[in-house]
Every structure is written in C-alpha cells, then in structure tokens.
Amino acid sequence: MTPSPSPRPLVYGHRGARADEPENTLRSFRRAHRAGAEGVELDIRLSRDGHLVVIHDATVDRTTDGTGAVAALSLAELRELDAGLGERIPTLAEALDAFPGLVQVEIKAPEAVAELAGLHGRTPLPGRVVLTSFHAEPLERAASLMPGVERGLISHHPETGLLERALELKATWVCPELAPGLTPELVARFHRAGLRVDAWPAADAERLARCVAIGADAVTTDHPALIDGWLTEI
C-alpha cells in the first residue's frame, strides 16, 4: 500500500493516555481507547524470569512505588508494585488484550526480541502490531526472527539518514521527532519510498497543526482526548 497524507492523522496515545493516567498501564490504554485513539505506543522489557513486561525505564523507581532494575525482578515481584492508582505493571499479552486497536511496541531491551519471537511462534502477534526502536539492531533481529511483523524506526533527527536506514531495515514506518528538519519535502520523500510517518510529540494544538501541515500519517501524543478538539482549531 502506498501511503498518502490525511487531514486527520491516526492518533497513537503515548504510553496510553499518559497525561491523564499512569503511563503504560491497562488503565491508561483503556482510557486512550475511550478517548478515540486508533493506537497506543508502549514499551517492553524483560523481567528476570523472562516475561515481556510493559514499562519504559530500565528501573521501576520513577513509575512505581518500588526500586531496582526491571531485569533484576521477577514477574511476581514486579506485580507487587503499584504503578499508580493501584495499577500493576502489565505483560505485553495483557496490554494487547486491553487495547483492541493499533499498537506500537517499542523495544527498550534488545534481549526482549528473542522472547517476542517465542511469543509470536506460540501465538502470532496481531497484524495491528508494529515493532519499533531507536536502534537498528533490535529491528534487524526482529526482521530475521519475525519477518512478517511490521517494523518502525524512531529518530530524534529525521533529516540525517532516517530514510536510508529505514529502507535498509525494510521498515514500513518511520517515527520522527517533530524537529526542524522534518519538512513537508522530507515527508513526501518518505511517502514516495512507501513509508508511513508517525510524528511526535503532538503536545499541543500548534504542534499538531504542524504535523498535519507536513503530511504526517499519524501522531503520537500524551493527550489523545484533546486531539479532535485541537483539530478544530487548525
């Protein structure tokens, strides 16, 4: 499919509805769905005993009432922690069950790719899943182990080789930060190469307007409930 710009981009809730709920929790994903987000972006790491868990940081300190490295804690130990408002750190399977729409799974720990492939072998990941990373290596391994699962490359610097790296990885998405170098001309180049563009962060009406003006196919935001209202201001 050759993508084309849309006046109403797809909306991905960043870690769910992060501005309104504890990030990367089932409560946050469900809130994003109720707000009308077509997708959510979430982050995965591995517990000490090899479970895919949804958490952004390498430690639990910022987002829970616990301390320590995620990789040093078992799933049972992670489950004992309060991730906000009584929420628990979910597994990837639970997150996919909680949110029925599109899901960007950002690979935060490279060692998670093998477990992802194992999960995919047992219960294939839904076609609505895109595996993303800032780094080429996890995506290269994902391409090798799960060639049928879509991939997206994230970047803070869209103008410095993002197009070429994404094509080398056979990605279907690029996820560039809304930096000065993300111009309509560059977005058009992505589109001509068959890549869809998810711009971030759509943090307010002004930045959302810029995402629309450059022709982004999707936006990622902490505020999925506000997007439609902001669109009326454009």
**Which residues are catalytic, by number?**
14, 56
**Total residues belonging to the chain:** 234
Residue among 10, 216, 233 nearest 101 (CA): 10
Q: Cα separation of 179 and 120, whole Å?
A: 34
- Phi and psi dihedrals of 199, rounded to 5? -90, 150
Q: How far apart are CA 234 and CA 230, in angstroms?
A: 7
Q: Determine the Cα–Cα distance for residues 205 and 234; give it in Å rounded to an integer.
A: 8
In Å, what is the CA distance from 93 to each residue of 44, 75, 81, 84?
11, 13, 19, 20
* Cis geometry, peptide bond prior to residue 147 (ω within 30 degrees of 0): no
